[in-house]
Amino acid sequence: MYLVFIALMALNVSSEVLDGFEVVKESLQKSIANATHRNEIAMQDLEFIYNLYPTRAIDVYTKGNNVKKESDNLFNYLEELKIRIVQEADGKNADINNIQQKENLDAASRVMLAPVVGEGRKLREKMETYRTDMAAMVVDSAKTAVIESVLDMELPSANGRSWENVLFETMPVAAAVTILTKLQSDVRYVEGEVLSSLQTSAIDVEAYRVNDIRAMVIPQSQIVMQNSPYRAQIVLAALDTTQRPEIYIDGMNAPLPDNWYTGSSAAIREHTFSGRMVVGTKEYPFSSSYFVTEQVATIAPVLMNMLYGDIPNDVLVALPGVPSGSVSASISAGTIINKEGTVWTVQVPANAGSVTITLSGNVAGGSRITAEREFRVRQLPPPQAYIAYRDASGAVRKYNGGPISRQNLLSADGVSAAIDDGVLDIVHRVTGFRIGFIDAMGNIVPVVSQSGSFTQEQIAKIRELPRGRTFYISNISVLDPGGKPLNLSGAMEVVVN
């Protein structure tokens, strides 16, 4: 498995995590540069052999050119997709090496998953075709298995979703670009494996003498999640099937079983290791490194970076590599239940102060990962009373005091109340209010409604009021969404216009 950034869906991913993707991408680009240089040398060797033995080497030389052409085409297509995603986020003048909207969750989906024109399915088909073509070029079954493993398009944790949806749906730009860079690294690696195979298997030793034998480390991935194992196969670049080398890791006395090395992933940092490969009386040193990254979990309220007490709060949750249906969630106070997919509903006491949400789930291979995040709990602000009416264009307006036309006033049903601060819009049911009319003697005549609607008596008195006359709406009682009764303070001054 080489896809370790699946399911990063945070709306509020920290800048440190997004910057971490840049570090990983830069490391991959270095690997790509090294692999590209190695492949250029391999093609030069094939050309040299062809010039020496044009008749015997024409087949392998032609295959080598085809491998390079197909690899370059796929590599350049991946680069084009990276540029398009960054431009979708930052605009046509975007710089792929200086992404501004790293956290943008829509750009990758629009480029890769848009109906009809989305590139995701096309990319998957190109990768599958490339995998088949490259595997067919190799006669060594062990190397064929390695190529097919590196380019394996099956995701055990996909949970019925397509490869492209798992990789690019609601994926931050920084993560999507890193995934495509990882695919480019895979292409250059596989290109090198096929060219190496063409060098060693298609021409006998008399026609071509190997002059540079190197020990190679082939990791399943150079990026692993914390507490997940790092695995790498160590082989000779020019394999002699008549001899089985022994591989020793520095600090270990016994050789590795089956050429597989398993490294630690407990610490979040770059890990290095080295050793030697023993073939007969000769030894070949090697070294490599891999990165352990932080578990990038999503625990994000839909509205803002806090929770409100005594009402349902929708929260997005996700664990990398864990299908949404397999994620478990708990909370230190209150309740949390799954609403749909990655959306969970949280309800906490208003006096909780703060709560902690904890996620857990199993990734492919059986490893269990957990993540948690603390949130402040805020009490809801008091609701505001208003009168809802439709203006001449039919748009709903909220009036909460001052001049109002008699026509608009009489077209309203009564008094409403809600918390509406531009983020929240939580309606409270009005259960009663009083209108204070001022008679000719200056006395206040109260008329009470036992609901949120104007009574017939209130409507009749409003009709009788002359222009410019004022009345007051007060003693407004409401029920919050949880059924708790509240009395609103203050009064609404209404001037009939």
pLDDT confidence of residue 385: 92
Residue 206's pLDDT is 38
Q: Which residue is listed with tokens 């944790």?
A: 157
Over residues 173-188, the pLDDT tens digits come to 888 898 999 999 999 9
The Cα–Cα gap between 216 and 35 comes to: 12
- Paired tokens of 263: 């490294």
**Per-residue pLDDT at 1 exceeds 50:** no
Residue 115 gets which letter from DSSP?
A: T
Residue 51, H or E segment? helix 15-52
Asked whether the beta carbons of 494 and 471 are under 8 A apart, the reply is yes
Predicted structure pTM score? 0.42
Residue 2 banded pLDDT, cuts 50, 70, 90: very low
Average pLDDT over residues 399-413: 90
> In this structure, are 309 and 262 located in the same domain?
no
Residues of the chain with pLDDT > 90, as a percent, come to 27
For residues 301 and 11, give the distance between their C-alpha atoms in angstroms, rounded to a whole number.
Answer: 8
Judged against a pLDDT cut of 80, whether residue 3 lies above it is answered with no
- What is the residue type of 338? N
Q: In terms of DSSP bridges, do strands 223-225 and 282-293 run parallel, antiparallel, or are they unpaired?
A: parallel
Check: CB of residue 287 under 8 Å from CB of residue 272.
yes
Last residue of a domain, one of 164, 195, 211: 211
The lowest-confidence range among 43-47, 254-258, 414-418, 430-434 is 254-258
CA distances (Å), origin 198, targets 168, 219, 354 = 35, 22, 62
Q: How far apart (Å, rounded) are the C-alpha atoms in residues 103 and 171?
A: 8
Is the Cβ–Cβ distance between 303 and 380 less than 8 Å?
Answer: no
Q: Looking at residues 164-168, what average pLDDT do you find?
A: 86
- How large is the average pLDDT for residues 188-192? 93
Q: pLDDT confidence of 432, banded at 50, 70, 90?
A: very high
C-alpha–C-alpha distance, residues 398 and 386, integer Å: 6
- Minimum mean pLDDT range among 74-88, 274-288, 313-327: 313-327
Query: What pLDDT is attached to residue 9?
Result: 38
pLDDT of 75 higher than 60 = yes
The SS3 of residue 357 is: strand
Average pLDDT over residues 208-215: 56
| Residue partners of 394: CB distance under 8 A and separation at least 6 | none
With cut-offs at 50, 70 and 90, classify the pLDDT of residue 212: low
Average the pLDDT over each of 71-75, 101-105, 236-240 and give the range with the smallest value. Answer: 236-240
Using alpha carbons, list the distances in angstroms from residue 165 to 98, 200, 262.
26, 39, 30
Same domain, 245 and 291: yes
Supply the DSSP string of 418-448, one letter for each residue: EEESSS-EEEEEEEEEEEEEE-TTS-EEEEE
What's the pLDDT score for residue 363?
62
Q: Are residues 289 and 368 in the same domain?
A: no
pLDDT of residue 414: 92
Mean pLDDT, all residues of the chain: 81
More confident residue, 161 or 228: 161
- Residue 366 has a pLDDT of 58
pLDDT value at residue 7:
37
259 & 388 share domain? no
Q: What DSSP assignment string belongs to 319-335? A: BTTB-GGG-EEEESSSE
Q: Which of 229, 261, 296 is the last residue of a domain?
A: 296
55 or 175: which carries more pLDDT confidence?
Answer: 175
Q: d(Cα 414, Cα 409) in Å, to the nearest integer?
A: 9
Residue 218 belongs to domain with CATH number: 2.60.40.1930
62 and 1 co-located in one domain? yes
Q: Highest-confidence range of 38-47, 48-57, 217-226, by mean pLDDT?
A: 38-47
Asked whether residue 449 falls in the same domain as residue 331, the answer is no
Higher per-residue pLDDT: 458 or 233:
458
Taking the C-alpha atoms of residue 389 and residue 395, their distance in angstroms, rounded to an integer, is: 8
Question: Do 199 and 226 fall into the same domain?
Answer: no
Q: Are 309 and 378 in contact (CB under 8 A)?
A: yes
Torsion angle defined by CA atoms of residues 483, 487, 491 and 497, in that order, rounded to the nearest 10 degrees = 20
What would the mean pLDDT of 392-414 be, rounded to a whole number? 89
Coil, helix or strand for 256? coil
pLDDT at res. 170: 84
CA end-to-end distance (rounded Å), the chain: 71
Q: Provide mean pLDDT across the span 359-379.
A: 75
Residue 45 pLDDT greater than 70, yes or no: yes
Say if residue 175 is in the same domain as residue 26.
yes
Q: Give the count of alpha carbons within 13 A of 425, CB side only.
A: 3
The CATH number linked to 412 is 2.60.40
Indicate whether 61 and 187 sit together in one domain.
yes
Boundary (domain end) residue, out of 175, 196, 211: 211
Per-residue pLDDT at 209 = 46
At 203, the amino acid letter reads I
> Does residue 159 sit in the same domain as residue 255?
no
Residue scoring higher pLDDT (204 or 80):
80
Task: Looking at the structure, tell me whether residues 189 and 217 fall in a common domain.
Answer: no
Domain range for 438 is 384-496
Rg (CA), the chain: 34
User: Residues of the chain with pLDDT > 70: what percent?
Assistant: 81
d(CA 278, CA 243): 10
pLDDT tens, position by position, 114-135 = 888 889 899 999 999 999 999 9
Domain count, the chain: 4
Higher pLDDT, 66 or 12: 66
Q: Please tell me whether residue 52 adopts helix, strand or coil conformation.
A: helix
Tokens 């003697």: give the residue: 441
Which of 168-182, 304-318, 336-350 has the weakest average pLDDT?
Answer: 304-318
127 and 12 belong to one structural domain: yes
**pLDDT tens digit string along 264-279?**
877 767 788 899 988 7
Check pLDDT > 90 for residue 439.
Answer: no
